[in-house]
Amino acid sequence: IALPAAPDARPGWLLRSQHRAYARALAALRTYRGAILAEPTGSGKTYVALAVAWRWQRTPVACIVPAPLVDKWRATAARLGLAAVVTSHEQASRGRLPAGTRGLVLVDESHHFRHPDILRYRHVAAFLAGRAALLLTATPVVNRVEDVAHQLRLAVRDDALALEGLDSLAAGIRAAPAALGAV
């Protein structure tokens, strides 16, 4: 699948192996206002996502991450000179979301948001309304392919992939799985 890639300059701290993920994530966000960065563990998804935030906005970026990673995200953003408000998944479950932020939201380990009936999902979905979101995960599919659709529905319009042959994310992605390449 030949995916669109943004030609934008990238920060000098990105590794060469991260350039393609950065360009594709940025292009998908500009087109759909939401994307999943599905890269292997250890590939530097945190750095790619923060590079996208660096290009996307100059105001503090909201980050929703697992509790054990909160300090890592804060330290990495600070080391790169980026303003970030970092909240844990557990805080999100209680309705405590990154205050004082606008624009882009980064959600690390987004596979924890694969089921719309959990409280965490509902709080984050409401928080993301009208905002762009980059979802990061090494395992976008945990139990079934619909896990991907539920994650995407946090940030991408249900009919956003209609031109790619997928009329509705809600109706299931089995009908046109190649369409997911765009996001």
Tokens 């300059």, residue? 9
* pLDDT attached to residue 113: 86
| Alpha carbons 173 and 42: distance in angstroms, whole number | 28
3-state secondary structure of 62: strand
Q: What is the mean pLDDT of the chain?
A: 86
* 148 against 170, higher pLDDT: 148
d(CA 31, CA 17): 23
Look at 64 and 163; give whichever has higher pLDDT.
Answer: 64
What is the pTM for the complete model shown? 0.86
Confidence of residue 180 (pLDDT cuts 50, 70, 90): low
Helical H runs in 57-163? 70-79, 89-93, 119-128, 146-152
